[in-house]
């Protein structure tokens, strides 16, 4: 006999924008009947939450482990860009993500990564051209062409970029955007090329202009980039044009909450709860044509039970009629993940990262709390024995990026905003190509932290004279093969330890990972050198 059960409460119908008391009948994973009834339990029945744009890899968890943490917060589906693993392992990495995601009852919807490599100014592990993109977009399970970071290529009609956009049109699949700060005629031209979303808006003026040009704006609140407060006023008059997303979510933050936290914040700010729910369910489901239910008869039974609008405590989560979480506990298990990798870097010495003083002034990257963008500063160089060294007293520290795909000389620059007083941090999570990135107060500690990751084939590390902490990431050098809660606990331990070194940032490793992200201005460092994101060209730290 087919499994059949009934759940009663106050039902949120985001399709028809109404709340009513009643029940839903679930049979064979679908909603077979909906009825109205006055005498029902004091609880809300809501559509399951959807993260409209996320890189699962940034959680440092494989998809199956990510799902175990996400479902307890009411997330039933993600629009997932496998851009990070594709930059490391190409199509094999995308296939790994799809295969692993299918091992758990969670709805992952992957895109075809449009920019692998993201630029020609860095070394990556793979290249996806129009042929590889078509092989992905021709598949039903690939829902969209993921973020088109190369907005200059769109504006100036680069042949490879336009070929990828044409393939997306051929298969009638949406194209995600990535154009921070792009406004005016260039933004209009970018959007008219078929780009339908952007999650990189810094302020409401930019967002409104892009909406007026026909674009959907994804309001992002991740571990490093936080734009919710600036953009949430769009909820009032433009709710049909926005979605909610995290983009990048580190494991300790995912342990605490996901899209549910944004829903809760929006409701506390006074926005209509039904409108808020529609934004994070109906909007992404319809835009990406996802097979996720919206509490309509015949829909897949994907929903959550919440106590009330004020607390927004997720009591249980259902996906395809299966209860997957209850009272903060995930109810399914996951199998061990494979550990594909591509790691050929060679150990370095402190001499390899020394910098000859060509001037007494240097160009410095200024990292900003809660932002992916950086600023350019000009400052006095601290020089000893003809070498520029970290100036701890003035928070000007050495930054190193080392090619991890083959032996090469490290690239070196200087950065402010981290506030380290001693020690070094290193990571192989470094967008987009995931070379090794490290920052520190001394050349010895920087080299030691980098070599620790080379020997382990990937991870994050903290090194100083008193301690060495290390989280191995053997899956592509960017994800762990361990239990999500264990990974979150160790990551949190290392993250907290950065504060004892004097770090000022809330998410230092996440911020560090974006210091190699060349497509976000203003000044970044790739394995090939210091990069001016405004001019889209290499520059010298001494070119003042």
Per-residue pLDDT at 49 = 98
Expressed as residue numbers, the domain containing 449 is 350-538
**Do 421 and 287 share a structural domain?**
no
Per-residue pLDDT at 2 = 58
**Do 377 and 271 share a structural domain?**
no
Domain for residue 287, yes or no? Answer: yes
**Do 392 and 268 share a structural domain?**
no
Sheet arrangement for strand 459-463: 374-380, 361-367, 411-416, 397-402, 436-440, 424-427, 459-463, 468-472
**Tokens encoding 458:** 């990937």
Domain for residue 42, yes or no? Answer: no
326 close to 319: Cβ distance less than 8 angstroms: no
Domain for residue 199, yes or no? Answer: yes
Per-residue pLDDT at 1 = 37
Q: How far is CA 477 from CA 45, 250, 523, in A?
A: 40, 15, 25
* Partners of 247 in beta bridges: 54
Per-residue pLDDT at 338 = 84
* Residue 143: closest CA among 80, 70, 225: 80
Domain for residue 241, yes or no? Answer: yes
Q: How far is CA 517 from CA 224, 345, 399, 540, in A?
A: 13, 20, 14, 17
151 close to 190: Cβ distance less than 8 angstroms: yes
* Residue 480: closest CA among 450, 510, 445, 456: 456
**Tokens encoding 362:** 């240097």
**Do 354 and 243 share a structural domain?**
no
- Of 291, 307, 341, the last residue of a domain is 291
Q: How far is CA 53 from CA 71, 85, 216, 355, in A?
A: 16, 16, 12, 40
DSSP state of 269: T
102 close to 95: Cβ distance less than 8 angstroms: no
- Of 250, 272, 291, the last residue of a domain is 291
pTM of the model: 0.93
**Do 365 and 283 share a structural domain?**
no
Per-residue pLDDT at 335 = 82
List b or e across 334-364, with b for residues whose CB sees 16 or more CB atoms inside 10 angstroms: beebebbbbbebeebeeebbebebeeeebbb
**Do 218 and 117 share a structural domain?**
yes
Domain for residue 483, yes or no? Answer: yes
List b or e across 370-394, with b for residues whose CB sees 16 or more CB atoms inside 10 angstroms: bbbbbeebebebbbeeeebbbbbee
**Do 379 and 280 share a structural domain?**
no
Mean pLDDT by 10 residues, the chain (544 residues): 85 98 97 97 98 96 97 98 96 96 97 93 95 98 96 93 98 96 95 97 96 98 90 98 96 96 98 98 98 98 98 98 98 88 94 96 94 93 97 98 96 98 97 96 98 96 94 96 94 94 92 92 96 93 88
Per-residue pLDDT at 163 = 98
**Do 363 and 510 share a structural domain?**
yes
**Do 178 and 248 share a structural domain?**
yes
Domain for residue 203, yes or no? Answer: yes
Count of structural domains, the chain: 2
Please tell me the distance from the alpha carbon of residue 441 to that of residue 502, in angstroms, as a whole number.
Answer: 11
**Tokens encoding 253:** 């933050």
**Do 379 and 510 share a structural domain?**
yes
> What CATH number is given to the structural domain containing 148?
3.20.20.140
Domain for residue 299, yes or no? Answer: no
**Do 503 and 402 share a structural domain?**
yes
Domain for residue 320, yes or no? Answer: no
- Of 291, 312, 335, the last residue of a domain is 291
């Amino acid at each position: 006999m087919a499994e059949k059960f009934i759940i009663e409460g106050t039902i949120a119908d985001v399709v028809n924008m109404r709340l009513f008391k009643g029940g839903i009948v679930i049979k064979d994973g679908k909603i077979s009947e909906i009825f109205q009834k006055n005498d029902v339990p004091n609880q809300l029945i809501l559509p399951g939450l959807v993260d409209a744009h996320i890189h699962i890899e940034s959680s440092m968890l494989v998809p199956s482990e990510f799902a175990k943490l996400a479902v307890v917060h009411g997330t039933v589906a993600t629009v997932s860009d496998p851009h990070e693993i594709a930059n490391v392992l190409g199509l094999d990495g995308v296939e790994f993500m799809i295969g692993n995601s299918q091992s758990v009852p969670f709805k992952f919807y992957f895109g075809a990564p449009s920019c692998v490599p993201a630029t020609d100014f860095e070394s990556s592990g793979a290249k996806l051209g129009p042929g590889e993109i078509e092989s992905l977009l021709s598949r039903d399970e690939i829902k969209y062409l993921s973020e088109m970071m190369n907005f200059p290529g769109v504006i100036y009609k680069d042949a490879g970029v336009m070929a990828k956009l044409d393939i997306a049109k051929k298969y009638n699949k949406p194209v995600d955007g990535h154009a921070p700060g792009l406004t005016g005629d260039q933004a209009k031209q970018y959007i008219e090329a078929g780009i339908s979303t952007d999650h990189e808006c810094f302020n409401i003026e930019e967002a409104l202009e892009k909406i007026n040009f026909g674009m959907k704006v994804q309001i992002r609140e991740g571990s490093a980039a936080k734009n919710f407060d600036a953009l949430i006023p769009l909820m009032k008059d433009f709710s049909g044009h926005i979605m909610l997303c995290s983009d990048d979510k580190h494991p300790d933050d995912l342990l605490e909450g996901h899209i549910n936290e944004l829903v809760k914040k929006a409701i506390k700010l006074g926005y209509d709860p039904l409108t808020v729910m529609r934004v994070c369910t109906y909007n992404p489901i319809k835009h990406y044509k996802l097979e996720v239910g919206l509490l309509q008869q015949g829909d897949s039974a994907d929903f959550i039970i919440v106590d009330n609008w004020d607390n927004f405590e997720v009591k249980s989560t259902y996906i395809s009629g299966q209860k997957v979480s209850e009272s903060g506990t995930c109810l399914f298990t996951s199998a061990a993940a494979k550990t594909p990798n591509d790691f050929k870097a060679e150990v370095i010495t402190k001499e390899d990262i020394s910098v000859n003083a060509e001037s007494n002034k240097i160009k410095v990257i200024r990292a900003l709390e809660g932002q992916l963008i950086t600023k350019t500063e000009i400052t006095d160089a601290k020089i000893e024995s003809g070498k520029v060294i970290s100036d701890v007293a003035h928070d000007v520290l050495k930054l190193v990026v080392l090619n991890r795909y083959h032996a090469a000389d490290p690239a070196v620059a200087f950065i402010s905003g981290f506030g380290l007083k001693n020690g070094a941090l290193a990571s192989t999570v470094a967008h987009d190509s995931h070379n090794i990135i490290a920052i520190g107060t001394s050349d010895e500690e920087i080299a030691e932290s980098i070599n620790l990751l080379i020997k382990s084939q990937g991870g994050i590390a903290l090194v100083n004279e008193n301690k060495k902490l290390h989280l191995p990431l053997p899956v592509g050098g960017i994800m762990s093969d361990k239990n999500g809660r264990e990974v979150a606990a160790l990551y949190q331990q290392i993250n907290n330890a950065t504060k004892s070194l004097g770090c000022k940032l809330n998410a230092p490793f996440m911020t560090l990972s974006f210091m190699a992200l060349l497509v976000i201005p203003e000044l970044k460092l790739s394995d090939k050198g210091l990069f001016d994101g405004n001019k889209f060209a290499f520059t010298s730290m001494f070119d003042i």
